[in-house]
Chain A
Amino acid sequence: MRPQGGAFAPEPSPVAIWLIPVASVIVGSLITILPLVATFPVLPPLGLMTLLAWRLLRPEWMRIWSPLPFGFFDDLVSGQPLGSAMLLWTLSFLIVDLLDRRLMSRDFWQDWVLASGAIALCLLVGRLIATPIAAHVDTLLLSQVVAAVLLYPLVARLVAWLDTKRGRA
C-alpha cells in the first residue's frame, strides 16, 4: 500500500513511522480504562491484537522483542499479574515467527489463523496464571476468545489503514 501521490509523495516524517504503531498498540491496551465495570471479561485484548496485526503486516518492522515493553505496559493496566503479558506475548511472537518461517506464502487467512492461535494462547494461559482453577470463568473466557478472533480482521484492517498513514517504512 503506497501513500497517495505515488513516487512523488513527500517523505513521511520519521516520527510518524514509529509513533503510529507504538501509539496504536498502547491505545489498544488502554481499552481497559473505558468507564465500564464488567461482571466478566467482556472486552477483547485489543493491545495484543493490534500488536499481532502489526507483526503480521510488517514482519520486518516489529522486532521480535517488541512485545516486552508493550506487554509490560499492558500488565500495568489490564489487572493481570505483572509479567504475564511480557512472557506470553513474547512467547506467542516467537511461535508466530517460527511458523512464519515454515509457511511458503501467506495471505490473510494464514494471518488470521496465526493471530487466532496467539490470542487463544495468551488468553487461556493468562487465565490459568491469574485465576484459580476452581473459578467459573471458562465459558466466559471461551466466548471472549471467540469474540476476539472474530474481531481480528477489523483490527487488521485498521492497522493496514494506519500503515498507509504512516507512509513507506
Chain B
Amino acid sequence: MAPPRNRRPGFSRRAQYSLFISYVIAIAGALVGAVLLALSTLNPPAFSALRAGTAEVTAPVSWAVGSVWNAIASIPEAIGSFFGVRSENARLKDQVANDRQQMLRARAIAYENIRLKKLLSVREPGVETIAIARIVSSSATSTRRYGLIYAGLIQGVHAGMPVRAPDGLVGRVLEAGPDTARVLLLIDSESIVPVRRTKDGAPGFATGRGDGLLDVKPIALGNTDYGPGDVLVTSGSGGIFPPNVPVAKVISRNRDGVLAKPYASPDALDYALILRAVLTALPPTATEKQP
C-alpha cells in the first residue's frame, strides 16, 4: 500500500480544528470509559438496565436461531437412533432390571426418611419452580461466564434466584430484565456455591475456575478430605441455593482442595429451571462421624 496519506489537513483552520477536536473527543471518551469501568467494577449491577434493554432485543433472535439450529442438529441423532434402536433396547432392559433393585431400596429409604422427618417435625421449604426457560446465549467472547435466559420479571424471575438444569445446578440469576435475565454460571470465577458431599455431608465451597471446572475446598481443613468420585450437592446453607441439587463430581486432587466437574455441562444446556431462592437456611442436621 502507498504511504498513508498525510493527515495534516492543509491550511484550513476549520479542518485543523476538527481534527484536533476529534482527538480531544477520543481522549475524553477514553476517560469517560475509564470512569464507567470504575463504576461498573465497584458496583456491578450499575448498568444492568442498559444490558437488560439490549438483551430484550437480542434474546428473541438467539432463541429463533437456536430453535432452527436444534432442529437441524437433531436430524443426525434421529437417524442414528433409528439404526441403534435394537441394541439400545437390550441395554435398557438390563438397566431396568438393575434399577428395580435400587429403586426398591430407595423407596424404603424415602419412606423411612418421611417418617423420621415427621417424628422430628422438621419444617422443610418446598422447592418451587418459578419458570422454565431456554438459555439462549452466553458471553462466549469474554473470560467471564454469563448465560442469558429468555424469561424475566414478567415471568417472575428476579435477581438472586437459583437456576438448575435437569442434571444439576447451573448458577444464579444476576440481573433480571422484563423478559430476559442474566445468569452467573457455576463455572464463572466469581461464583461460589456451598456444597456438601452426599456420602457423609462434609461441607465445602465450590468456586468456579473459569475453565469449566470447579475448585472445591472443604470447610474443615484436615478433618475432611474429598477424593475423586465424590458426589457434591448443594448444602442449602447461606440461603439462595436449595439443598440437594447435584453440583459436581470430584475428578482429581489439587494442592489445597479438589477439582470437580459440574454435572450441568454448559455445552449441553438448553432448558433451565428457575427456582425460588431459599431465604431461610435450615440449620444443618448433625452428621454422624464416620466410625
Q: How many residues of B contact A (CB 8 A)?
A: 64
Query: Separation in Å of the A9 CB from the closest CB of chain B?
Result: 22
Measured between alpha carbons, how far is A32 from B253 in the docked complex, in Å? 34
Query: Does A83 lie within 8 Å of B266, measured CB to CB?
Result: no
**A38 to B, closest residue via Cβ:** B140
Which among A10-18, A42-50, A149-157, A161-169 touches the partner chain? A42-50
Query: Does A79 lie within 8 Å of B29, measured CB to CB?
Result: no
Query: Does B4 lie within 8 Å of A131, measured CB to CB?
Result: no
Contact with B along A72-94 (1 / 0, CB 8 A): 01001111111111111011011
Q: Is A158 an interface residue (CB 8 A)?
A: no
- Neighbour of A32 across the interface among B34, B63, B66, B137, CB < 8 A: B137
> In residues 203-240 of chain B, which contact A (Cβ within 8 Å)?
208-213
Query: Does B37 lie within 8 Å of A137, measured CB to CB?
Result: no
Specify which chain B residues have a CB less than 8 angstroms from the CB of A87 in the assembled complex: 30, 33-34, 37
Query: Does A126 lie within 8 Å of B7, measured CB to CB?
Result: no
- Neighbour of B3 across the interface among A83, A91, A94, A106, CB < 8 A: A106
Query: Does A86 lie within 8 Å of B62, measured CB to CB?
Result: no
Contact with A along B26-51 (1 / 0, CB 8 A): 11011011111111110010110011
Q: Is B155 an interface residue (CB 8 A)?
A: no
- Neighbour of A135 across the interface among B34, B209, B265, CB < 8 A: B209
Query: Separation in Å of the B23 CB from the closest CB of chain A?
Result: 6
User: If A93-B26, A105-B2, A105-B3 touch, does A35 touch B69 (CB 8 Å cutoff)?
Assistant: yes
Contact with A along B118-130 (1 / 0, CB 8 A): 0000000000000
Contact with B along A4-36 (1 / 0, CB 8 A): 000000000000000000000000001111111
Query: Does B137 lie within 8 Å of A43, measured CB to CB?
Result: no
- Neighbour of A90 across the interface among B7, B29, B66, B69, CB < 8 A: B29
Query: Does A79 lie within 8 Å of B142, measured CB to CB?
Result: yes
Specify which chain B residues have a CB less than 8 angstroms from the CB of A46 in the assembled complex: 141
Query: Separation in Å of the B239 CB from the closest CB of chain A?
Result: 23
Specify which chain A residues have a CB less than 8 angstroms from the CB of B143 in the assembled complex: 41, 126-127, 130-131, 135, 137, 140-141
**B66 to A, closest residue via Cβ:** A35
User: If A39-B267, A81-B40 touch, does A65 touch B29 (CB 8 Å cutoff)?
Assistant: yes
Query: Does A37 lie within 8 Å of B147, measured CB to CB?
Result: yes
Q: Is B58 an interface residue (CB 8 A)?
A: yes
Query: Does B189 lie within 8 Å of A132, measured CB to CB?
Result: yes
Query: Separation in Å of the A85 CB from the closest CB of chain B?
Result: 8
Q: Is B5 an interface residue (CB 8 A)?
A: yes
Specify which chain B residues have a CB less than 8 angstroms from the CB of A144 in the assembled complex: 141
Specify which chain B residues have a CB less than 8 angstroms from the CB of A90 in the assembled complex: 26-27, 29-30, 33
Query: Separation in Å of the B182 CB from the closest CB of chain A?
Result: 8
Choose among A36, A85, A107, A141 the residue with the greatest number of B CB atoms under 10 Å from its CB: A36
Specify which chain A residues have a CB less than 8 angstroms from the CB of B44 in the assembled complex: 81
Measured between alpha carbons, how far is A137 from B212 in the docked complex, in Å? 10
**B63 to A, closest residue via Cβ:** A35
Q: Is A113 an interface residue (CB 8 A)?
A: no
Query: Does A44 lie within 8 Å of B141, measured CB to CB?
Result: yes
Query: Does A59 lie within 8 Å of B4, measured CB to CB?
Result: yes
Q: Is B187 an interface residue (CB 8 A)?
A: yes
Instruction: Give 9 nearest A-B pairs by CB, closest first.
Output: A79-B139, A83-B36, A35-B66, A86-B33, A83-B37, A135-B189, A87-B33, A135-B210, A39-B212
Please list the residues of chain A having a beta carbon within 8 angstroms of any beta carbon in chain B: 30-46, 59-60, 63-65, 67-68, 71, 73, 76-88, 90-91, 93-94, 100-101, 103-108, 126-127, 129-132, 134-137, 139-141, 144
Chosen A-B contacts, 11 in total, with CB atoms closer than 8 Å, are A32-B140, A33-B61, A36-B138, A40-B210, A67-B26, A76-B54, A81-B41, A82-B36, A82-B47, A101-B7, A136-B211
